Structure 1
Amino acid sequence: MNVHLPNAQWFKSSYSQAGGECVEVAFLDGGKVGVRDSKDADGPALVFTPGEWDVFTRCLGSGGFDCPRS
């Protein structure tokens, strides 16, 4: 599915390095979260539901994606 996000307010983490390879995040309506490549602002974005975002960030924080599904 192709989603158009013209009004999204994208931001980078404060941990991002200048000129580095970063992702940008936008908090969207309905609690959804968009993620895109900062080098390709017009390219595709992933959109997570609130539950998906929680699992994604929890797994990143635990060091990877060997996280069991809940």
Structure 2
Amino acid sequence: MPELWKVVIALEATAEQKDALVDRFVDAICPDPNHEGWCDTPWAVDVTEGASLSPDEQERLRDKIKDTMEG
């Protein structure tokens, strides 16, 4: 039986950039939205605005994002 996984992707982006990226994530997970029946890989997406996170969580995620900006 498949296991449950949670994949977290934190990003700094405009609302429009976020929407475009979420659309790309969805396309990658389910490239044929018109398929019959259930997806081969059951999935769900949840988007949380950073302002709703605790200050400590915001700082933790921003620190992780900095790792992608350093050469």
The TM-score normalised by the length of structure 1 is 0.29
* Relative contact order, higher structure (CA 8 A, sep 6+): 2
Q: Which has the larger radius of gyration?
A: 2
The TM-score normalised by the length of structure 2 is 0.29
The structure with the greater share of residues assigned to strand is 1
The structure with the greater share of residues assigned to helix is 2
